[in-house]
Amino acid sequence: MQGFLTLFKKELVRFWKVSFQTVAAPVLTALLYQLIFSHVLSQHVEAYPGVSYTAFLIPGLAMMSMAQNAFANSSSSLIQSKITGNIVFLLLPPLTASEFFGAYLLAAVVRGLAVGAGVLVVTGWFGLSWPEHPGWVLLFALLGSALLGTLGVIAGIWAEKFDQLAAFQNFLIMPLTFLSGVFYSIKGLPPLWYAVSHLNPVFYMIDGFRYGFFGQADVSPWLSLGVLATATGALAFLAIRLIDRGYKLRH
Amino acid sequence: MPAIEIQSVSKRYGAFTALDNVSFTVEPGEFFALLGPNGAGKTTLISAMAGLSRPSEGRIRIMNHDVVDDFRAARMSLGVVPQELVFDPFLSVRETLRFQSGYFGLARNDAWIDELLFKLGLSDKADANMRALSGGMKRRVMVAQALVHRPPVIVLDEPTAGVDVELRQSLWVFIRELNAAGHTIVLTTHYLEEAETLCNRIAMLKKGRLIALEEKEKLLAHSVAREVSLKLSAKLPPALESLKVREENGRVVLALAEIAQLETVLATLRTAAVEVRELSVGETDLESVFVRMMHGGSV
């Protein structure tokens, strides 16, 4: 347990020491999206009855930022340690696979939540009202960060070069987050893309998160919860197996 | 109970055999050297002990704990200083050591950390960022990291490679103290004089195989024939030709199985009326043992 707590703390220290880059920068990026998109689109779109586009956009941006940063936290920490070689200091101690995974995961969730809270603070005054269901908001924030944090652990273990990790990030994570209904309601999409969107786990993260704020969403929050819990559980199982077997960590 | 027990360990990477059926034990309190040229398998063997790699065959126990089945207890018993100079650029020296303690389950370990910092001459660098340290200082931190959990068995993989003389000396004083306090020490080194002065027992690896495992004195005593270099007034008598190894600078060099044989050589020379103008006896050292063995000579 002490090993897990220490690694968790080390991971927090790691991103906190560069918090301009790891927290402030994504919050600013989200603010810029908010300024530009709400200015351009607020007159044209009303996603849900009684919800302005400006308000609709905010939870989407917050969840997108949480997802991207949770992924970035675990994946970049692992690949940096692998490339600089200091991962050896984590492989020599008697940490179990679950402790190792849990520490990276939890730190990724904390960074996700910190970024998400920052985004809500700076964009909330554009017109977001207090959530209808704060419990769902918190639950989806946690699960969304956990899913991407887990994926980050897997990507960080798998990648051998920064280039491979960048490919994972830019060709998988970015499209999944951008095409998940952050900027639009998928109900407005043509049937094919409407169906495709349902295969994207990030869609359920954002949809469930929005449900928490507005009490309405494209699908039931229980469905979103089920999809996310299943996906997170399956990926976490895979990640722990990889660590336990020493995949690309022990030779 | 041996401190380290290596049983028929082999490690293969595809068609390449890095370790080939290596077995030996190291007793508690020993100061043990693992020698061999680059690529002999020393680091592979250390990695297998530390759980950084898994043997293809065979078993390793540290303080009677299997490094695979009982890895937690095995790793608690082992402190490893890796060969490559690595560090976490986000952390200070003290943070590095506190975190390393925590990974081993030790939450409050500051008294021992302070002692390590002092012993390794790092006290005034405790709050410096790791990036700001010289290579030698970083190496000291790595030694401290290996010792945070006070392991009974300490393995140092070329700890003095690329390190200044002063640090080498102070490091060995410290490691000797640890050994005197009962810690088992295993080291690999390229500086043979280090192995010769520090260690009681020596294993030599070559191409993944254990080619020698001896008490240091025995290895030195019976391994190399003494060489005697003679400057003579005339040609070497035919009776001594079989002892000749080479000629250099007008001298003839003879190999003697033992120093007592010198008496016979001198008697033969007297009988043949050959005068000895100069004579020197070569000292045997680990370096010459090592060089001979690595070039295929046997013990």
pLDDT recorded at residue B299: 45
- Say yes or no for a CB contact (<8 Å) between B103 and A85: no
3-state secondary structure chain B: CCCEEEEEEEEEECCEEEEEEEEEEECCCCEEEEECCCCCCHHHHHHHHHCCCCCCEEEEEECCEECCCCHHHHHHCEEEECCCCCCCCCCEHHHHHHHHHHHCCCCCCHHHHHHHHHHCCCHHHCCCEHHHCCHHHHHHHHHHHHHCCCCCEEEEECCCCCCCHHHHHHHHHHHHHHHHCCCEEEEECCCHHHHHHHCCEEEEEECCEEEEEEEHHHHHHHHCCEEEEEEECCCCCHHHHHHEEEEECCEEEEEECCCCHHHHHHHHHHHCCCCEEEEEECCCCHHHHHHHHHCCCCC
Residue A16 has pLDDT above 60, yes or no: yes
Nearest CB neighbour to B145, from listed A5, A81, A89: A89
Average pLDDT on A162-166 reads 94
H or E, element range at A197: helix A191-197
- Domain contains A251: no
- Domain contains B299: no
pLDDT recorded at residue A87: 96
Total domain count for chain A? 1
CB A210 within 8 A of CB A193: no
Are residues B269 and B244 located together in one domain of the fold?
yes
- Domain contains B290: no
Are residues B189 and B129 located together in one domain of the fold?
yes
For helices A221-245 and A97-124, angle between their N-to-C axes, nearest 10 degrees: 140
Are residues B49 and B76 located together in one domain of the fold?
yes
Total domain count for chain B? 2
Query: How far does the CA of residue B181 sit from the closest CA of chain A (Å)?
Result: 23
Alpha carbons A227 and B15: distance in angstroms, whole number: 45
- Domain contains B153: yes
Are residues B69 and B214 located together in one domain of the fold?
yes
- Domain contains B292: no
Return residues 211-250 of A near B (CB < 8 Å).
Answer: 246, 250
At residue A74 the predicted structure's pLDDT band, cuts being 50, 70 and 90, is very high
Query: Pairing relation of β-strands B226-232 and B276-281?
Result: antiparallel
Alpha carbons A82 and B115: distance in angstroms, whole number: 30
Are residues B81 and B209 located together in one domain of the fold?
yes
Are residues B82 and B185 located together in one domain of the fold?
yes
Sort out which chain A residues have CB atoms less than 8 A from B55's CB and list them.
none
Nearest CB neighbour to A94, from listed B76, B89, B101: B76
Average pLDDT value over all residues in chain A: 92
- Domain contains B296: no
pLDDT recorded at residue B259: 76
pLDDT recorded at residue B130: 94
- Residue B129 sits at the chain A interface (C-beta within 8 Å): no
pLDDT recorded at residue B284: 65
Q: Residue A204's domain spans which residues?
A: 2-245
Are residues B163 and B260 located together in one domain of the fold?
no
Are residues B120 and B191 located together in one domain of the fold?
yes
The enclosing domain of B262 has a CATH number of: 3.30.70
Percent of chain B with pLDDT over 90: 51
Are residues B77 and B60 located together in one domain of the fold?
yes
Query: How far does the CA of residue A9 sit from the closest CA of chain B (Å)?
Result: 9
Are residues B136 and B232 located together in one domain of the fold?
no
pLDDT recorded at residue B248: 81
pLDDT recorded at residue B160: 76
- Say yes or no for a CB contact (<8 Å) between A246 and B54: yes
pLDDT recorded at residue B297: 52
- Domain contains A250: no
CA-nearest residue to A249 within chain B is B52
A247's tokens:
């995949």
Alpha carbons B287 and B119: distance in angstroms, whole number: 31
pLDDT recorded at residue B283: 66
- Domain contains A88: yes
Sort out which chain B residues have CB atoms less than 8 A from A251's CB and list them.
13, 47, 52-54
Q: Residue B271's domain spans which residues?
A: 225-283
Residue A11 has pLDDT above 70, yes or no: yes
H or E, element range at A77: helix A53-84
Query: How far does the CA of residue A22 sit from the closest CA of chain B (Å)?
Result: 14
- Say yes or no for a CB contact (<8 Å) between B72 and A89: no
Count of residues for chain A? 251
pLDDT, tens digit only, all 299 positions of chain B:
899 999 999 999 999 999 999 999 999 999 999 988 888 899 999 999 999 999 999 999 999 999 999 999 999 999 999 999 999 998 999 999 999 999 999 988 999 999 999 988 899 999 999 999 988 889 999 999 999 999 999 999 988 776 778 778 888 888 999 999 999 999 987 777 778 888 889 898 888 999 888 777 777 765 556 778 899 888 888 888 888 878 888 889 888 877 788 888 899 999 888 999 989 887 666 666 777 677 665 44
A217's tokens:
């969403």
Are residues B117 and B260 located together in one domain of the fold?
no
B294: buried, middle or exposed (CB in 10 Å: 19+, 13-18, 0-12)? middle
Partnered with residue B206 across adjacent β-strands are B209
- Residue B69 sits at the chain A interface (C-beta within 8 Å): no
- Residue B100 sits at the chain A interface (C-beta within 8 Å): yes
Alpha carbons B48 and B185: distance in angstroms, whole number: 17
- Domain contains A93: yes
Are residues B270 and B189 located together in one domain of the fold?
no
Residue A52 has pLDDT above 80, yes or no: yes
Helix then strand count (H, E) for chain A reads 12, 0
DSSP summary character for residue A51: B
The enclosing domain of B182 has a CATH number of: 3.40.50.300
Alpha carbons A60 and A203: distance in angstroms, whole number: 10
Residue A117 has pLDDT above 90, yes or no: yes
- Listed range (A6-15, A83-92, B22-31, B271-280) with the worst mean pLDDT: B271-280
At residue A178 the predicted structure's pLDDT band, cuts being 50, 70 and 90, is confident
Position with higher pLDDT, B216 vs A26: A26
Alpha carbons B166 and B164: distance in angstroms, whole number: 6
